[in-house]
Structure 1
Amino acid sequence: MAEPRRPRRPSPRARGARRPASGPTGPGGPAAPAADEPVVELDVERVAHGGVFVAHHDGRVVFVPDAIPGERVRARITDRRHDRFWRAETLEVLEASPDRQEHVWAEASVDRAPERRAGGAEFGHIRIDRQRALKSEVLRDALRRFGGVEHDVEVQEIDPAFAPGVSADGTGWRTRVRLQVAEDGTVGPYAARSHTVVPVASVPLAVASLDELAPLSSRFPGARAVDLVAPSVGEPALVVVDVERMPRRGPRPTITERVGDRTFVLDRDGFWQVHRGAAATLTRAVQDAVDPALFDPRAANLDLYGGVGLLAAAVGDRFGDAVRITTVEADTRATEHAGANLAEWVGSRAVTARVDRFLDELADAATAAERARLRDATVVLDPPRSGAGRAVVDRLAELHPRQLVYVACDPVALARDVGLLRERGYGLDEVVAFDLFPNTHHVEAVARLTAIV
């Protein structure tokens, strides 16, 4: 990858004045609670999925953000609609954890009123090593509860060689940033858990070029959003979004991303991994996850939810030019790019289809010889955050490929699909996880499951 400039450290004036971790701050401090929103003191017990933490009040579970296990916080109950649990928001930290740090994004700090805290950096108040430990806990708990397996997985820092310029504190990694536009034209992120636009003085999770490019003091009346894009090849771009997506027909701007010695062309508004080092990390992780003893280059290998061909290329680069692999993606433009990006492989094919429908048609139409090639296959799948789901799992189990390499951005979705696959004759061999979203609760995992003969 092209090496970006080192992240620019904004001055204290640009980043916002540094303040204590708790306590009122005048006009920007916690607002007075409404009469029907009680304020309570909570002892924070553990982390939960979704970037919130678990406490109890009067025997009921309370989910509260902006905290750390072991802390005591003053919180406002904001949602009492459920019998089993309530939701709250932290107003003040009464007893701080030793893992609490000054928030990496001043505008997201707990010392601001909850409705004025910038969203998108919900773990930024936690030391980076504790963040990874908490994410590991969430992943292990999900696999145990929803997948029925005990697996000792630890979330890893990515190889710094894959992400030059990314800071050790987990800032300076985002290559794509969307700034929302308020009715008056001001820009900023949404406040956490709302659609209120919060003006900010910096975007510290972004790579340096986007932090410098961000038009944080400008106005864009009538626009929906402002997108900032920093591809690994070429200059960063600022795009004013007037509609939700670009037109499906006609010329559309493209960008080029480099992963190692390989380049990928995609639409500028198309999907690509957002961390500067994510594509290289996942390429190597998928290559490592495929068991070579089970891999047959002549089998009907599949890359499901394949995008522009990143992971199909990873398999091809690992096992050579003779690899047969079909990449399947519902987005027509992405499939067109995948076909071009994989053109050097005679055995590659890019298909535009919904994955569930593609597998249905494959299962219904396959000859005996084709079914044999499918049983010998390796299937890579990188589903959306909701996971592959029962219909896809059922079809995969029916086709019974030798091994599955599952790339997941949601621990619970991964665990549920692992549980379904285990019920259908697949064993979980390994899981690795990477901190591709520092200072947020998100985590990326790669799992290998093999057919139990």
Structure 2
Amino acid sequence: MPSRPVRRRNPPRAVAHDPAVGTEVELETTGVAHGGIMVARHEGRVVFVADAIPGERVRARVTEAKSSFWRADTLEVLEASPHRREHVWSEASVTRDPEGRAGGAEFGHIELAHQRELKRQVAADALARIGRIDDAPDFTVQALPGGDDAAGTGWRTRVTLHVAPDGTVGPYAARSHTVIPVSSLPLAVPELAAIAPLTERLGDAASVDLIAPAEGPLQIVTARDGSRPPLAAITERVGDREFALEALGFWQVHRLAAATLTGAVQRAIDADAFDPRAANLDLYGGVGLLAAAVGDRFGQATRITSVESYESATDFAARNLAEWVGARAVTGRVEQWVRGRAENATATERGRQRAATIVLDPPRAGAGTEVVAELVSTEPAQVVYVACDPVAFARDAKAFAAAGYAIRSLEAFDLFPNTHHVELVARLSRD
């Protein structure tokens, strides 16, 4: 995946020009919506409320007013949920003015077990309401080992800090590009929190990336004038296997996420439907993590092609997959590559495509109807879908279902404690 682009510094926060904006209202929250916000109603209008919990009564300030809904920030909790706790990040607490709250820990005021239940509800609602899937397997959102011991903190191995025009370093405020000065980074692994330049002034910088690889020294990458310095390779580890990648290349953020997803993908594949000689695929393959998971389960002779649009990642994937004689890594946009694969296949290749297992790990927006249509046109034996957004997954699952591919297994993981994000791993196949 490409390195993250340098963002513009502190563009103005968008504010709807409506008399309701700035109004303070009392609200009773009744549910949770995708994106880490809660749902309430005011005089019949839906209001999406930040920093609340279902079942609470809060005083909130309207920040956006449209004809169909409002958005609001919690100012005061009038009747608290039994699941509310002191926020794990004091600089994101509801006790601060909303515009001065650090973003990136929007569930930090909720007990961990209830966070996971809310994430489950969001994913289940998306499958039912958006995916129109009423027979999805039951699932819970699983905690990663040791996560609850530290209240869901100390897990981020990658942190991006931004720099304000005056040189202040910090995270963005929630839902804005305003840099918030902070004195702590509780979600970061301790070694990154210790080196973060939170008290410095970096007037000539745009952002600072902190990386804690599994092997080697910590990395600090500062972007200046829209550019970053040349990046050295780093080494990550999953069990006994090493993966080389660019310092700012895509890698799972939680220190245990790569190992967790490796195991989940291996479990999801139906061994009876897997053919090591088929035209197996790892799409949006990055540096080869999930292709390696397949190869480790089914042996060195496994045929699998990893497809990734970012050339540097593909180069690393070729190195990381070198021990599998049937593995290869290619650079290409997935939607274009799968279209050409289907259009140009010989009769023998079409047979291998029908026998294929496809691992699909798209970006947050999902694979999309075009990619799904090309994949199902080749009638693969099974698809293992790794999803970082439940709504995008639900849309894609609906497209798969229209072609007869139902969800046969489903696991969910809390790879991002104290945020609203959740990771899903599903297997889809036809009867």
The 5 A counterparts of 1:6-405 are 37-80=22-65, 82-150=66-134, 151=136, 152-160=138-146, 167-244=149-226, 246=228, 252-405=231-384
Aligned to 1:442: 421
CA distance, structure 1, for counterparts of residue 192 and residue 23 of structure 2: 41
Give 1:167 shift. 4.3
Give 1:130 shift. 0.4
Give 1:246 shift. 4.1
SS in 2 for 1:417: helix
Contact 2:21 2:64 in 1 (8 A): no
Task: Spell out, residue by residue over 1:354-388, the C-alpha distance to the aligned partner (whole angstroms, 9 max, x if none).
Answer: 00100111011100100000000000010000000
Q: Which amino acid aligns with 2:73?
A: E
Contact 1:157 1:435 in 2 (8 A): yes
CA distance, structure 2, for counterparts of residue 230 and residue 219 of structure 1: 23
SS in 1 for 2:385: strand
SS in 2 for 1:323: coil
Give 1:243 shift. 4.8
Give 1:245 shift. 5.5
Give 1:159 shift. 3.2
Give 1:451 shift. 2.5
Contact 2:142 2:413 in 1 (8 A): yes
Contact 2:219 2:247 in 1 (8 A): no
CA distance, structure 1, for counterparts of residue 37 and residue 347 of structure 2: 50
CA distance, structure 2, for counterparts of residue 138 and residue 256 of structure 1: 35
CA distance, structure 1, for counterparts of residue 226 and residue 303 of structure 2: 37
Contact 2:204 2:225 in 1 (8 A): no
Count of residue pairs brought into register by the alignment: 411
Q: Which amino acid aligns with 1:423?
A: A
Which aligned runs of 4 or more in structure 1 are off by greater than 6 angstroms?
none
Give 1:83 shift. 1.6
SS in 2 for 1:312: helix
Contact 1:301 1:378 in 2 (8 A): yes
Out of 412, 416, 433, the residue aligned to residue 391 of structure 2 is 412
SS in 2 for 1:362: helix
SS in 1 for 2:273: coil
CA distance, structure 2, for counterparts of residue 301 and residue 37 of structure 1: 54
SS in 1 for 2:301: coil
Give 1:252 shift. 3.2
SS in 1 for 2:416: coil
CA distance, structure 2, for counterparts of residue 362 and residue 78 of structure 1: 48
TM-score (normalised: structure 2) = 0.93
> Identity over aligned residues, as a percent?
62
Contact 1:159 1:281 in 2 (8 A): no
CA distance, structure 2, for counterparts of residue 45 and residue 149 of structure 1: 24
CA distance, structure 1, for counterparts of residue 54 and residue 46 of structure 2: 14
Task: Spell out, residue by residue over 1:216-254, the C-alpha distance to the aligned partner (whole angstroms, 9 max, x if none).
Answer: 10111110101110001112122211155647xxx6311
SS in 2 for 1:97: coil
Aligned to 1:24: none
Q: Which amino acid aligns with 1:153?
A: F
SS in 1 for 2:317: helix
CA distance, structure 2, for counterparts of residue 87 and residue 52 of structure 1: 9
SS in 1 for 2:58: strand
Contact 1:175 1:229 in 2 (8 A): yes
CA distance, structure 2, for counterparts of residue 64 and residue 315 of structure 1: 42
SS in 1 for 2:193: helix
SS in 2 for 1:270: coil
Indicate the larger mover: 231-240 or 169-178.
231-240
Structure 1 residue runs of 5 or longer lacking an equivalent are 1-33
Structure 2 residue runs of 5 or longer lacking an equivalent are 1-18
Aligned to 1:18: none
Q: Which amino acid aligns with 2:348?
A: A
CA distance, structure 1, for counterparts of residue 271 and residue 27 of structure 2: 51
CA distance, structure 1, for counterparts of residue 213 and residue 62 of structure 2: 42
CA distance, structure 2, for counterparts of residue 345 and residue 306 of structure 1: 15
Contact 1:401 1:451 in 2 (8 A): no
